[in-house]
Amino acid sequence: MKSIIVKPEKGLVTDSMLVEAIKSSLAGRMDDLKKVLIIPPDFTRFHSLAGKISSIYYNLLKDRCEIDILPALGTHEAMTESEVLEFFGPDVPFDRFIVHNWKTDVVKIGEVPADFVTEVSEGLVTNAIAVEVNKLIMDKSYDLILSVGQVVPHEVVGMANYSKNIFVGCGGNTMINQSHMLGAFYGMERMMGRDHTPVRKVFDYAEQNFIKDVPLMYVLTVTTAVQNDVSLHGLFIGRKREVFEEAVSLAQQKNLTYVDEPLKKVVVYLDEKEFKSTWLGNKAVYRTRMAIADDGELIILAPGVRKFGEDDRNDELIRKYGYVGRDKVLELTKTEKDLQENLSVAAHLIHGSSDGRFSITYAVDKLTKEEVEQANFIYANYKETTKKYDPKKLKDGFNKLPDGEEIYYISNPALGLWADRNKF
C-alpha cells in the first residue's frame, strides 16, 4: 500500500483528518478482510491516542470481519477492564482483548547473526539474538495486522515504536533481555532521541528477514500533552520504513526539549493511573538525565508507585540488587546467575540510576522508607513533599516557588526527552 502521512504545516491533525486517513488506509481491501489483529500499546502509553485510533478501526471493521486485539505488553501487567474502557472507550468489547505472555505465548522465527550484532554494537555485544514474537503474529488466518503506537524518545531503542511494538511489545524473553542489554551496554545517552541505533538495527534486520510476509501495517502517531490534554501533530500509516522515519523527524521536533544550562533541581510528577512501578516510573530518571547538572537533584512525585517491577520476578530482583549504577550492575552480570538469566532487569537497573551524578528522591505513599532506600533511592513522604511541590500549582518548565527556590517541573516524563544542548 502507499504510505499515508498526515502532518499539517499549521495546526494539528483534526478528528476528521484522522478518520479520513484511517479510511484511506483500508481503501480497496475492506471486502477482502475476514480476520484482523490490532496491536495497540497498553495503558502506560495512554497519551499515544492509540486507544482512539484502535477504536476507529474497530468500528469500521466490526460488521465485516472478526477482530482480535493484542496489547503490546512486553513485560508489563495486563490491562484491567477499567483501563481498557478508559483507553479504548465503550465501543471496543473487553472480550476481544488477548493478553500477551512474553514467557509462554511466543514462537522463535529466526536469529540475528552474531557477526551482525557485533558490528552494530561496535564489539560490545558479540552473541546472536533469537527473534521471538507472539504466535498470533505468525497466524496466517489474519488478513491484516495493525500495529498502532506513538513514536517518542526511548531509552532502549532510541525512538519508540515501529517494529519495536512487534519484537519487544509482543516479543519473548530472549529478544526482550538481549535488546535491553544491548542498549544498556551501548549507552542510553548515545541513543535516546535517535533513529539508527544498534537496537533499532537489530529490529530492522528482523523486520526485513523474518516478518516481511506478515500482512502488517504500522499506524504511528506523534503527540504532545499538557496534563491529559493530548495534541496529535502527525499520523503515519504504512509498512515501509519511511513512515517511521517521517514520524521520527517530527517527534524530534515535538518531543525533545533542550535547556541552555544543566538543571539544578527537577521535579517530575507520575500520574498514579499510568505509573504503578519504578520499572515505568524511572522514565523520570532517564528522560531527564541529560538535562540535570552534576550534583543536581531529582524529586519524583509518585503517588501510584507501589512496587519496583511489573513482573513478580523482576520486582524480586530489583529489590535484591537495587539501582546501584552502570559499573556495579555490569560487574554483577558477570557473577550473578539470576541477573544473567534476566538481562532486561540488569538493563533496567542501569537505566534507573544516575550513576551517582545526581540524587534521586522518590516521594511515595505506597512504599515504605526501607523499601525505597533498599533500592538505592532517597525516600520522601508524598503528602509532605507535595505541600511544597504541588503538581496542581506547578507548570511545565521553570517555576519560582514562594520561598524563592527555582525548579524545573515535568508533568509527564513519558512524553519526551529533556537534554542540555551541549550533551545531545
| pLDDT tens, position by position, 36-53 | 999 999 888 888 999 999
Q: What is the pLDDT of residues 4-46, one digit of tens each?
A: 999 998 899 999 999 999 999 999 888 899 999 999 998 888 8
pLDDT surpassing 80 at residue 277: yes
Q: What is the mean pLDDT of residues 179-205?
A: 93
User: Where do you find CATH 3.40.50.11440 in the chain?
Assistant: 4-254
3-state secondary structure of 54: helix
Q: Is the pLDDT of residue 76 over 90?
A: no
Nearest Cα neighbor of 401 from 299, 275, 256, 303 is 299
C-beta of residue 89 within 8 angstroms of C-beta of residue 69:
no
What phi and psi values does residue 154 have, to the nearest 5 degrees? -145, 145
Average pLDDT over residues 340-362: 94
Query: pLDDT tens, 237-254?
Result: 999 999 999 999 999 999
Q: Is 232 helix (H, G, I), strand (E, B) or coil?
A: strand
Distance CA 418, CA 81 (A): 34
State yes or no: pLDDT of 1 exceeds 80: no
Task: Check: CB of residue 103 under 8 Å from CB of residue 177.
Answer: no
Picking from 68-72, 123-127, 268-272, which range would have the lowest pLDDT averaged per residue?
Answer: 123-127
The pLDDT, as a whole number, for residue 114 is: 97
- Chain center to CA of 21: 25
Q: CA torsion sign, 97 to 103 to 107 to 113?
A: positive
Residue 46: what pLDDT? 84
The residue with greater pLDDT, 113 or 77, is 113
Q: What is the mean pLDDT of residues 146-169?
A: 95
Confidence band, pLDDT 50/70/90 cuts, at residue 320? very high
Please tell me the predicted confidence (pLDDT) of residue 401. Answer: 96
CATH superfamily of 257-423: LarA, C-terminal domain (3.90.226.30)
Mean pLDDT of 256-264: 94
Residue 86: burial class (beta carbons within 10 Å; 0-12, 13-18, 19+): middle
Please give the DSSP secondary-structure letter assigned to residue 150.
E
Average pLDDT on 319-335 reads: 94
Contacts of 130 (CB under 8 A, 6+ apart): 108, 110, 111, 172, 174, 175, 178
Indicate the DSSP class of residue 421. G
Task: Report CA dihedral (199, 201, 202, 203) to the nearest 10 degrees.
Answer: 90
Q: Where are the beta strands (DSSP E) in 285-352?
A: 292-301
Rounded Cα distance between 56 and 17, Å, is: 12
Asked if residue 228 has pLDDT above 80, the reply is: no
For residues 260-273, give the mean pLDDT: 95
Q: What is the mean pLDDT of the chain?
A: 94
**Cβ atoms of 106 and 133 closer than 8 Å:** yes
Closest to 106 measured CA to CA, from 150, 138, 128: 138
Residue 209 has what pLDDT?
Answer: 97
pLDDT at 51: 95
Confidence (pLDDT) at 352: 95
Looking at the domain 4-254, which fold is it? Answer: Rossmann fold (3.40.50)
CA distances from 228 to 45, 150, 223, 225 (A): 12, 16, 12, 6
Q: What does the pLDDT read at residue 422?
A: 82
First-last CA distance in the chain: 36
In which residue ranges of the chain is CATH 3.90.226.30 found?
A: 257-423
Per-residue pLDDT for 233 more than 80?
A: yes
Give the number of other CB atoms < 10 A from CB of residue 1: 14
Instruction: Return the C-alpha cell found at 286.
Output: 532517564
Please give the backbone phi and psi of residue 214, each rounded to the nearest 5 degrees, phi first.
-75, 135
pTM for this structure? 0.88
- Block residue for cell numbers 532510541: 158
Determine the pLDDT at residue 44: 81
Positive or negative, the Cα torsion across 7, 10, 13, 16? negative
Residues 385, 301: Cα–Cα separation, whole Å: 8
Distance (Å, whole) CA 78 – CA 92: 16
- pLDDT over 90 (residue 185): no
Tell me the CA distances in angstroms from 185 to 24, 110, 207, one per residue in order: 42, 23, 23
Q: What is the CA 133 to chain-centroid distance, rounded?
A: 18
pLDDT tens per residue across span 89-116:
999 999 999 999 999 999 999 999 999 9
Query: CA nearest 103: which of 314, 375, 347?
Result: 314
Residue 293 near residue 324, CB atoms below 8 Å: no
240 or 310, which is more confident?
240
The pLDDT of 300-314, averaged and rounded, is 95
